[in-house]
């Protein structure tokens, strides 16, 4: 028998749960192998030391303390049971708050950066206009009465498709390079109507890129159907 096999059966040997033949084989090995014999003796000593470990006394008057605490429970919470905060509620709240914090931190990195290659493919504009456009948010385009829904002027955008939110007067015109995910066709038409001769750059069906007009200082859109 090898030392490894002996080692695997050591606890069973100490528990006296081995078949007689295997036990005899192990004892032969212990007689021949000082390392395994040493390990057996150490494990025996360990078990003995554990069993001999002095006992500590329980709390004096534990029953009285428990009676008092249980009575307090009965008085404060009634006999029907305990009010218990659901398990993992604290952890769930903590994870939620952490997620919100991380989301708030990471938001500017993922939104609203536009693809730079699209910027390069736009018609050339004067450098000074480009600078002015980058420095300040462009003013709202003159939508006026051409808007499909006049209530868009107000601060409430609850009744409009989510895409309209990015164009509401409350928020202002989109910044250069703003990506509007998953725009609805109605919204694109609305932008076209509202901006008159302007163009909209649209990559359907997922993304719409909006850039300001450099010549008129108005929102400038170009419509490209893919």
Partner 1 sequence: MALMQENDNQWVEQYLAGDEDAFFRMVAKYKKPITNYIYRMIGDYDQALDLTQETFLRVFRNIRTYRADYQFSTWIYRIASNLAIDEIRWRRRRNIFGFGKKKRVEDEEEKPREELIVDTRSLPDQKCMDSQIGGLLLDAIQSLPAVYRTVFVLKEMEDLDYEQISQTLDCSLGTVKSRLHRAKNLLQKKLAPYYGTNYEMSNDE
1 lines the binding site for partner 1 (CB under 8 A) = no
66 lines the binding site for partner 1 (CB under 8 A) = yes
Residue (17 or 134) nearer to partner 1, CB? 17
Residues of span 120-179 touching partner 1 by CB under 8 A: none
Q: Which residues of 173-208 are buried (b: 16+ CB within 10 A; e: fewer)?
A: bbbbbbbbeebbeebbebbbebbeebbbbbeeeebb
Tokens found for residue 82: 């305990």
Size of the site for partner 1 (CB under 8 A): 31
Please check whether residue 202 is in contact with residue 222, taking contact to mean a CB–CB distance below 8 angstroms.
no
Q: How far apart are CA 199 and CA 222, in angstroms?
A: 3
Please check whether residue 224 is in contact with residue 203, taking contact to mean a CB–CB distance below 8 angstroms.
yes
70 lines the binding site for partner 1 (CB under 8 A) = yes
Instruction: State in angstroms the smallest separation of the CB of 182 from partner 1.
Output: 43
Q: How far apart are CA 141 and CA 144, in angstroms?
A: 9
46 lines the binding site for partner 1 (CB under 8 A) = yes
Going residue by residue from 9 to 28, which x/- string records binding to partner 1, judged by CB under 8 A? -xx-----------------
Radius of gyration (Cα) for the chain, nearest Å? 39
**Which of 34, 75, 80, 82: binder of partner 1 (CB under 8 A)?**
82
**Which of 27, 28, 31, 47: binder of partner 1 (CB under 8 A)?**
47
**Which of 19, 34, 58, 108: binder of partner 1 (CB under 8 A)?**
58
65 lines the binding site for partner 1 (CB under 8 A) = yes
**Which of 43, 122, 161, 203: binder of partner 1 (CB under 8 A)?**
43
Residue (43 or 223) nearer to partner 1, CB? 43
Instruction: State in angstroms the smallest separation of the CB of 92 from partner 1.
Output: 18
Query: Per DSSP, what are the bridge partners of residue 210?
Result: 178
5 lines the binding site for partner 1 (CB under 8 A) = no
Residue (46 or 102) nearer to partner 1, CB? 46
80 lines the binding site for partner 1 (CB under 8 A) = no
Tokens found for residue 117: 């290659």
Tokens found for residue 42: 């150490």
39 lines the binding site for partner 1 (CB under 8 A) = yes
Q: How far apart are CA 132 and CA 40, in angstroms?
A: 84
DSSP result, 117-150: HHHHHSPP--HHHHHHHHHSPPPPP--GGGSS-G
Interacting residues with partner 1 (CB under 8 A): 10-11, 39, 41-59, 62-63, 65-67, 69-70, 73, 82
């Amino acid at each position: 028998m090898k030392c490894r096999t002996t080692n695997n059966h050591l606890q069973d040997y100490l528990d006296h749960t081995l078949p007689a033949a295997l036990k005899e084989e192990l004892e032969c090995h212990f007689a021949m192998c000082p390392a395994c014999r040493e390990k057996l003796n150490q494990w025996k000593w360990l078990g003995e030391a554990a069993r001999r470990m002095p006992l500590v006394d329980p709390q004096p008057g534990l029953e009285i303390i428990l009676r008092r605490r249980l009575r307090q429970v009965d008085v404060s919470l009634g006999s029907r049971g305990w009010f218990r905060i659901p398990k993992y509620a604290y952890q769930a709240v903590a994870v939620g708050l952490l997620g919100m914090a991380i989301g708030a931190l990471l938001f500017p990195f993922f939104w609203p950066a536009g693809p730079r290659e699209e910027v390069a493919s736009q018609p050339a504009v004067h450098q000074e206009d480009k600078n002015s456009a980058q420095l300040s948010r462009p003013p709202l385009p003159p939508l006026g009465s051409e808007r499909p829904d006049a209530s868009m002027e107000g601060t409430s955008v609850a009744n409009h498709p989510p895409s309209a939110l990015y164009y509401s007067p409350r928020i202002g015109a989109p910044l250069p390079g703003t990506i509007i995910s998953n725009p609805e066709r109605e919204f694109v038409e609305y932008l076209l109507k509202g901006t008159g001769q302007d163009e909209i750059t649209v990559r359907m069906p997922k993304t719409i890129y909006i850039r300001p007009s450099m010549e008129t200082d108005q929102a400038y859109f170009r419509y490209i159907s893919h």
